[in-house]
Amino acid sequence: SKNKLVEPTYHTGDNSLMNKKNVVILIVEGLSREYVGLLNKNKGYTPNLDSLFQKGMLCSRAFANGRTTLNALPAILCSEPAMSDFPYILDGNFSDDFRSIAELLKNLGYSTHFFYGSNNGNLGIENFAKKIGFVNYYGLNQYPDKSDFDGYWGIFDDKFLGFSVDIMDTLKEPFLSCILTLSSHHPFMVPENFKQQNPNILNKHQNSILYSDYALSEFFKKASKTTWYSNTLFILTADHTSETFNPKYRSQLGMYAIPIWFFQPADSNLNGFNNKITEQIDLFPSIMDYLKINRRDIYWGES
């Protein structure tokens, strides 16, 4: 009704038709829409993602529901937008009312896994992940080779993304994995050999985006050789936007503009551009819709 601030939608489906594909959610640190060449008709800083994005469905008018990682995770995984400046993750009682894609899929027979290459416990992310249904957590403590530490945040993206593929290769299907990257976060640490490959990129931030783009392309190359790849729904998005280089994105709207991409290697119908306005809170109900999950409940987002 008109006197309501929001009108959350119901989602219905038919569990007898449930499509139990694996789900892999990639949340890329600070991947603003303005960095993606394919969405700006320029070269951008994501040559590898530009190529990958043409193989699935790319949401061209997608937006974050907050400005920080701690606001992004509840939006993406629980369809809960930020309602204040204080992140839900830091509220010890948040899990009492939250529904999450991890809890839902766990109850439907999925194993659940969260990957973040930073120190275990950093920003309360490990605690949040476990509270909302991720049974298995992989952080710096679980990574075998500490020489791949960037000296600041955690394990370099290409190394940790490769590690996540190795772990998923050991899992029984179906599984849910959420992977949060970190190398494109200030102070934008990248491996020394990658700096040498891009001597003309003087801006550390831009170079870190190029590096994350490379790391993600290596992730998909490695994943494509596995037995579970063709049975997996991949979703790639950003946690939030980052530094602006293009004046076009210095608006109130531009500060929230990110990419959202759906890719299922065996589904040729999931392709092209989706020009509807899309938000992070739409990911949870979209996954439910794609997997044909029957659950009647209230969500802030819609498929």
pLDDT of residue 9: 53
User: Structure tokens of 219?
Assistant: 């992730």
pTM for the whole thing?
A: 0.92
CA distances in angstroms from 33 to 30, 105, 150, 240, listed in the order given: 9, 29, 26, 10
How much is the pLDDT for 93?
A: 58
Instruction: Give bridge partners of residue 155 from the DSSP assignment.
Output: 149
> Which 3 state secondary structure label does DSSP give 176?
strand
Q: What is the pLDDT of residue 145?
A: 96
Question: Over the stretch 103-122, which tens digit does the pLDDT of each residue have?
Answer: 999 999 999 999 999 999 89
pLDDT number for residue 2? 44
Q: What is the mean pLDDT of each run of 10 residues along the chain (303 residues)?
A: 49 65 98 95 91 96 94 94 73 67 95 97 92 96 96 97 98 98 94 72 86 97 98 98 92 95 95 95 94 77 87
Q: Is the peptide bond before 265 cis (omega within 30 degrees of 0)?
A: no
Q: Which residue has the tokens 């839900």?
A: 88
Tokens of 141: 């403590």
Q: Tell me the C-alpha to C-alpha distance, in Å, between residue 110 and each of 23, 134, 161.
A: 10, 10, 21
3-state secondary structure of 36: coil
Predicted local distance difference test score (pLDDT) of residue 1: 39
